Amino acid sequence: MLSNTTIIVGVTGGIAAYKACDVVSKLKKLNANIHVIMTESACEFVQPMTFQTLSNNFVINDMFKEPKTWEVEHIELAKRADAFLIVPATANFIGKLAAGIADDMLTTTVMATSAPVIIAPAMNTNMYTNRIVQANIGALQDLGYKFIEPASGRLACGDIGAGKLADVDDIVAYVVDFFEKEAQVKDLVGRSIMISAGPTIEAIDPVRYITNRSSGKMGYAIAKRAVARGAQVTLVSGKTDLDVPKGLVKYINIESADDLYENLVREFEANDVVIQSAAVADYKPKSYSDKKIKKKDSDLSIELCRNKDVAQELGKIKGDKVLVGFAAETNDVLENATKKIKKKNLDFIVANDLTMQGAGFSTETNIVKIIEADGRINEYPKLLKSEVGDIILDKVRDILENK
């Protein structure tokens, strides 16, 4: 059932750590490849040898112990993982993760992964309901971490209430259901989708340039979801700090708006869909200085000229392709975005208001309105960018099916 699936199980220092043995055993019997990382405190409750025997893999519990391989262990496991399962997760671990603290092998590895992270908390009722713990859980959920709700009942300390580790079978079922959903949604098999992402850079001289605040997170989220749904994906990206999503057919790195245009045009015919989420500079310096411009006592003026409107140019050669645009605005969002649909010959446009908290650049979430060519407007609450990506891809699929 879980064949060819690599799950990293993180065990933290709570009395429920012994139940993680049963979780590992049951996942292993479903043919998952299990690697266990234990915190130092977890080793006080369960011996690493137990997990090593159950998983048939070495257990990692010390950042500074001599590694079993020549690979950088936490980076290699982070890359290899299809999912992380933290069971049990203490308030301490949740707090460190929410604060971005990586001071042991488990937190370090989780920080280094792009795989989904599933967290099963277990702690005293008063700790679990503490506003700080709940705020940390909420912050992690906003970042895309998934939580398995703890059960209510009699705890090891004698208290009765929420905080008891979810039933082992429920945890295993959650993991199985998660992977089944990932496997089932393959509705874009046979479709070729090109996605642009990130900022463009317009050079002034060898040192300076004009750019924007785009992080690329929206485009990369769409690319990941498109790959997961079976599409052949080409990602054309400006400079970002993001890892290149696994499974892409092609990754093309660009700098300027001209670079972006040339690559999109070159790859255009090979794709059914073009989703243009890159933030393209409208202007560039009219002339480039091949030497660093020296500071003077007087002011400096740089003459700018208009870049090609990449989306509009692609609209001219659209044919039967599906074209999706983005409009990041700070005012008159609907009016400005709607004008672009006809001008750029788009099937629909995704608009967001950069002034809204939780929307726009660098965040893990977005708040969008999707405006269709016939004028219909669909508004969405704050969602993870991966969830927005699926909404966009659902609309793309529907258009392709109706062509």
Q: Binding site for CTP: residue ranges?
A: 282, 292, 326, 340, 344
Helix (H, G, I), strand (E, B) or coil at 302: coil
Could you confirm whether 157 is annotated as catalytic? yes
**Residues paired with residue 322 on neighbouring β-strands, in sequence order:** 273
Q: Crossing angle, helix 17-29 and helix 48-55, to 10 degrees?
A: 10
Of 170, 184, 186, nearest to 226 (Cα)?
186
Omega cis (within 30) before 116? no
- The DSSP annotation for 165-209 comes to PPPHHHHHHHHHHHHHHHHH--TTTT-EEEEEESB--EESSSS-E
Which one-letter DSSP state was computed for residue 320? T
- The DSSP annotation for 8-61 comes to EEEE-SSTTHHHHHHHHHHHHHTT-EEEEEE-TTGGGTS-HHHHHHHHTS--B-
Exposure of 66 by Cβ count < 10 A (0-12 exposed, 13-18 middle, 19+ buried)?
exposed
Annotated binding site: 282, 292, 326, 340, 344
Spatial contact of 229 and 223, defined as CB atoms under 8 Å apart:
no
Choosing from 21, 43, 157, 305, which is the catalytic residue? 157
Of 199, 243, 195, 201, nearest to 219 (Cα)?
195
Alpha-carbon distance of 7 to 82, in angstroms, equals 6
**Residues paired with residue 206 on neighbouring β-strands, in sequence order:** none
Return the amino acid letter for 184. Answer: Q
Kindly list the catalytic residues. 157
